[in-house]
Amino acid sequence: MEKKRVIAVISCVAVSLLPIVAGLLMLERLPEKLPIHYNVEGVADQYAGRMTAVLLLPIICVVLTIFLALISNRPTMGNFKLFLTIAAIGPMLSLSIQSVILMTGLEKDADVSIAFIVIGIVFIACGNYIPTVRPNSIIGVRYPWIMDDEEAWTKTQRVGGKIMFFFGILVTLQAITKLGGVNAMVIFLLGGTILLVIITAIYSYAAART
């Protein structure tokens, strides 16, 4: 792995662990139980001991960061910007979701829309760089009928990237404005993702047949 990629991964791991530092500093102020999961209405429905809650998600995000960095460190995965975008998913999730958990523990108003904003940003970033990905078995808009057709693959990544980009903008805007509440955010995210899959599948099949 190139030196700059190693530095990027180390930086992302360090950022993912920052919420642990914050959690340990405020440990005595936290209740014995903290939420670790929220339902579609944004209400906490699963709890864990405060030490587990402080450590669990950031550690999962560290593992996720390392895993994504390893699978994306291939020539077919695109350039360094795409690598960095993928590696940054872990720290973004750690900072956003863990902040909601800690704020809830401190009985502050926790805004779960932060998580949707992060998801929207991930869609925007991936949509921007996925068109640069060459045919591979891990990353990109992948369907069996385009894996051996480089022209159809390239067309699909371009169209899929544009849809992801604009969908990410819509997800982010809805989360910022809180339009319709958490339920609407979940429905829009799931419905939009399904629609994204259907549109790209139809387009890629047509591209492979031409």
- Average pLDDT in the 134-158 region? 88
Does residue 93 sit in the same domain as residue 139?
no
- Mention every residue, 6+ apart, whose C-beta is less than 8 A from residue 38: 44, 45, 100, 112
- Average pLDDT in the 51-64 region? 92
Cβ(72)–Cβ(54) under 8 Å?
no
Does residue 13 sit in the same domain as residue 83?
yes
pLDDT of 198 above 70: yes
**At 125, is the pLDDT very low, low, confident or very high (cuts 50, 70, 90)?**
confident
* pLDDT, tens digit (0-9, with 9 covering 90-100), for 69-85: 887 776 666 667 777 88
Phi, psi values for residue 39, rounded to 5°: -80, -175
* pLDDT, tens digit (0-9, with 9 covering 90-100), for 152-187: 999 999 999 999 999 999 999 999 998 888 788 888
- Average pLDDT in the 48-61 region? 92
Does residue 1 sit in the same domain as residue 104?
yes
Out of 53-67, 89-103, 149-163, least confident range: 89-103
- Average pLDDT in the 17-28 region? 92
Does residue 49 sit in the same domain as residue 61?
yes
Q: Exposure string (b/e) for 114-129, b if CB count within 10 Å is 16 or more?
A: bbbbbbbbbbbbbbbb
Last residue of a domain, one of 62, 84, 110: 110
Report the predicted TM-score, pTM, of the whole model to 2 decimal places: 0.73
Does residue 128 sit in the same domain as residue 90?
no
CA distances from 36 to 22, 45, 48, 100 (A): 16, 8, 7, 10
Last residue of a domain, one of 73, 93, 110: 110
Does residue 100 sit in the same domain as residue 1?
yes
DSSP one-letter code for 148: T
Identify which of 39-43, 126-130, 197-201 has the greatest average pLDDT. 197-201
What is the domain extent for residue 4?
Answer: 1-110
Out of 14-18, 65-69, 105-109, 146-150, least confident range: 105-109
Does residue 74 sit in the same domain as residue 137?
no
- How far is Cα 98 from Cα 195, in angstroms, rounded to an integer? 30
Does residue 27 sit in the same domain as residue 124?
no
Cβ(54)–Cβ(20) under 8 Å?
yes
**At 201, is the pLDDT very low, low, confident or very high (cuts 50, 70, 90)?**
very high
Percentage of the residues of the chain whose pLDDT score is greater than 70: 92
Structural domains counted in the chain: 2
- How far is Cα 186 from Cα 37, in angstroms, rounded to an integer? 15
Residue 198 CA to its chain's centroid (Å): 20
pLDDT of 140 above 90: no
